[in-house]
């Protein structure tokens, strides 16, 4: 009996969704998706705005009820006992909702209290988290004058106050400048190394590639693909990409002559992408056919290419 229980605990996913659906009236935001999030992994939801990522997060955090299907978080049904789930969650919402009337430390303190922690437990935890978020010097300052990056780090620190078993980050770096993003990634990396389970939504390819062990690509409420960033690139995109830019008006003509030069091509508003396993051969072919782009760039495939392949359109930033 004890042995079977142990096995069940080890194999059971922290979050399990089967046919998970969210509808708002006639609009289906999340359309019967399946996924499992295992303990200790960084799991990503990648997709454009409106793909259903945030709706999925809201169902996991028990804030939004599911319309159909099955969802368990820590093995608990959110419709039956959302509070027990939230007790063990750390949530970083898409929009900062810090309490502007409180100081940096007080923002952490009240969330500790909401989680029913004792003052004596909370205070050392605040010191630790401010250190982690590199905000120790701003401990007693107000929240309003903090930079966007600092506010985000404070929001993450606030989500960690209760030592959560699962940390949900909804577009954690949207709207931050590159420096602030990198600092934030560094902090999230540290959490990962310490064994935290992270769920991250993002529409940044580099973010998904950097942080996620495994991810699903969402589009129009459905899961278009699932795997590690490497696996997805291998599966959906040839090794290399030749990016071509043309002078005004020459693009359409050139495209007509490109047939057979690459395993797949993508004509975007500003450039043409040729997916190929041999970029040199493709470039030679262009030259032989008398196609003379204004600019040629050869690069390795990225998640963005996977995304274009899967959804047939660029990301809406």
Partner 1 sequence: MSSTTLTRSLRYAESEVIAYRRTWRGTVITSFVNPVFFLAAMGAGLGTIVDDGTGQALSIPFITFVASGLMAANAMQNGAGDGSFPVMAGILWRKNFHGTVTTPLGPADIMLGRLIWGVGRLIFVLIVFAVIAVLFGALEISEALVAIPPAILTGIAFTTAISAWTLTQKDGRSLSTLFRFLIVPLFLFSGTFFPIRNLPDWIEPVAYVTPLFHGVELVRKFALPGIDESTTMPTWIHIVYLLVMAMIGIYFSIRLLDKRIRQ
Give least dist CB 225 to partner 1, A. 29
Give least dist CB 257 to partner 1, A. 52
Which neighbouring-strand residues pair with 275? Answer: 241, 264
Count CB atoms within 10 A of the CB of residue 210: 16
Q: What is the dihedral of CA 56, 302, 42, 312, to 10 degrees?
A: 10
Give least dist CB 182 to partner 1, A. 25
Phi/psi of residue 26, each to 5°? -85, -15
Give least dist CB 292 to partner 1, A. 54
Among the listed residues 20, 112, 111, the one whose alpha carbon sits nearest the alpha carbon of residue 64: 20
* CA 118 – CA 175 distance, rounded (Å): 35
Instruction: CB nearer to partner 1: give 162 or 283.
Output: 162
* CA 246 – CA 294 distance, rounded (Å): 5
Instruction: CB nearer to partner 1: give 114 or 189.
Output: 114
Instruction: CB nearer to partner 1: give 24 or 189.
Output: 24
* CA 233 – CA 216 distance, rounded (Å): 13
Count CB atoms within 10 A of the CB of residue 207: 23
The pairing of strands 214-219 and 42-46 is parallel
Instruction: CB nearer to partner 1: give 150 or 254.
Output: 150
Among the listed residues 216, 235, 214, the one whose alpha carbon sits nearest the alpha carbon of residue 225: 216
* CA 30 – CA 54 distance, rounded (Å): 10
Give least dist CB 66 to partner 1, A. 11
Residues binding partner 1 (CB under 8 A): 24, 61, 63-65, 82-84, 86-87, 89, 91, 93, 95, 97-103, 106, 109-111, 113-116, 162
What one-character DSSP code corresponds to residue 142?
B
Instruction: CB nearer to partner 1: give 102 or 296.
Output: 102
Instruction: CB nearer to partner 1: give 95 or 194.
Output: 95
Give least dist CB 118 to partner 1, A. 12
């Amino acid at each position: 009996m004890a042995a079977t229980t142990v096995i069940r605990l080890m194999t059971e996913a922290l979050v399990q969704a089967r046919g998970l659906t969210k509808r708002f009236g006639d609009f289906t935001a999340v359309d019967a998706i399946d996924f499992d999030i295992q303990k200790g992994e960084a799991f990503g939801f990648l997709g454009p705005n409106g793909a259903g990522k945030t709706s999925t997060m809201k169902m996991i955090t028990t804030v939004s009820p599911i319309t159909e299907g099955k969802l368990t978080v820590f093995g608990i049904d959110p419709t039956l006992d959302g509070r027990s789930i939230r007790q063990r969650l750390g949530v970083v919402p898409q929009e900062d909702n810090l309490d502007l009337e409180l100081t940096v430390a007080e923002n952490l303190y009240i969330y500790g209290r909401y989680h029913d922690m004792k003052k004596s437990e909370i205070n050392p935890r605040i010191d630790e988290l401010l250190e982690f978020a590199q905000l120790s010097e701003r401990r007693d300052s107000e929240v309003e004058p903090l930079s966007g990056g600092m506010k985000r780090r404070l929001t993450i620190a606030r989500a960690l106050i209760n030592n959560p078993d699962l940390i949900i980050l909804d577009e954690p770096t949207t709207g931050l400048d590159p420096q602030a993003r990198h600092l934030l990634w560094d902090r999230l990396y540290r959490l990962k190394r310490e064994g935290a389970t992270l769920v991250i939504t993002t529409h940044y390819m580099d973010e998904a590639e950097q942080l996620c062990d495994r991810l699903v690509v969402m589009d129009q409420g459905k899961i278009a693909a699932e795997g590690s960033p490497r696996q997805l690139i291998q599966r959906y995109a040839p090794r290399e990409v030749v990016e071509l830019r043309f002078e005004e008006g020459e693009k359409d003509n050139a495209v007509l002559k490109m047939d057979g030069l690459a395993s797949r091509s993508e004509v975007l508003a500003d450039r043409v992408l040729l997916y190929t396993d041999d970029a040199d051969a493709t470039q030679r072919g262009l030259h032989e056919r008398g196609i003379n782009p204004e600019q040629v760039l050869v690069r390795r495939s990225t998640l963005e290419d996977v995304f274009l392949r899967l959804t047939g359109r660029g990301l809406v930033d």
